[in-house]
Amino acid sequence: MGELVLAAKMTHVPTMLLSEQEGRLKGTRQAAIDGHLEIARRACALGADTVVICDTHWLVNAGFHVNANARFRGVFTSNEFPQFIRDMPYDYEGNPALGDAIAERASEMGVHTLAHHLDSLELEYGTLVPMRFMSREHDMKVVSVAAWCTVHDHDESRVVGEAIRAAIEASDSRVLLVASGSLSHRIWSNRDYAPNNGTFTISSEFNRQVDLHVLEMWKRGDHATFLKMLPDYARHCSGEGLMHDTAMLYGALGWDGYAGKCEVVTEYFPSSGTGQTNVIFPVA
C-alpha cells in the first residue's frame, strides 16, 4: 500500500534561479532554496519516491488535468518571464500509474479529470522550479496536477485532493505532496514596480498582514478556521491560481479535520509584490 508521507506549501519564484547567478540578485533567495532542499531531505528520510505537485502556473479552463507522462525532458523558457527563466534544461522520471489513478479516482468521485501522456505537454515552472532544487537532495518521480483553475470551485479541488490521497494509498508509491504557489499574489503594476523596489517588497500591507495571520493559524493547527476564510482570502488577497493548489492540499490532508501544526522552513518574504514562504504540513 502506498502512503502520503509529507506535504508542503512551496514558493516557486523565478528569482530563485537568478539568486544562483552572478548579478545584483545573487544570494538573495538562498533562504527559499534552502527551504526546498530541506523539504526534499525530509521527504528522502521518509522514503518518498514520488512528488505530486499542484501547479498554479498550469492554467486550465475546463475540467481538471494531470500530466502523467513517463518522462519529462526538455529545455524550458518561461513565456511569462523569459528574462528570468530561460534555456533551463530538465530531465525527470514520471509516475504514469499514479497520475492515471489520480484522474480515474477523481472522475469516479464526480470531478471530471483527465490524465495525459504527451511529450509535447511541457511542465510549467510551478513544477520545474521546485524540482530543480529538490532533485539536488533527492531523486523523485514527478506527477504534475493543474492548479490554476479558472472556472472551478474550491470544493471541486477539495475532491481532487481527496482523490490524490486515495490514489496514493491504493498505489505502491510513497509520496510528497506539494502545493506550489504563493500566499497573497498581487504583483506590482508595471508603473509602480521600479519605484517600490518591487523585487523585494509587498504590494499591499493588508495582504502582508493577512499572510502573516494565516501562517500563525497554520503553525497552531487552526486549519478549520482557515478553510472558512479561504474563498475570501483567495479573492481579496489575489491568491495565486485562486489558491486551488491549497484546496487540493487540504483535500488530501482531511480538509477541516486536519489539525497538524505546520513548520515554516522559509520565513515569509515578499517578491514582486507577492507573499512567499515554504511550509511543511505534517501528515498524521
pLDDT > 70: percent of the chain: 100
For the whole model, what pTM was predicted?
Answer: 0.98
| pLDDT > 90? residue 198 | no
Q: Which cell numbers hold the place of 204?
A: 499591499
Give per-residue pLDDT as tens, 151-190: 999 999 999 999 999 999 999 999 999 999 999 999 999 9
Q: Is the pLDDT of residue 122 over 90?
A: yes
Using DSSP, state whether 264 is helix, strand or coil. Answer: strand
pLDDT at 284: 83
Q: Which three cell numbers stand for residue 191?
A: 508603473
Q: Which three cell numbers stand for residue 33?
A: 532554496
CATH topology of domain 3-281: Protocatechuate 4,5-dioxygenase; Chain B (3.40.830)
Nearest-angstrom CA–CA distance, 181 and 8: 10
Look at residue 147 and tell me whether its pLDDT is greater than 90: yes
Length of the chain: 284
Amino acid at 156: E
Residue 225: CB atoms within 10 Å: 11
Provide the pLDDT for residue 265.
98
199-214 pLDDT, tens digit per residue, is 999 999 999 999 999 9
CA 283, CA 76: separation in Å to the nearest integer?
33
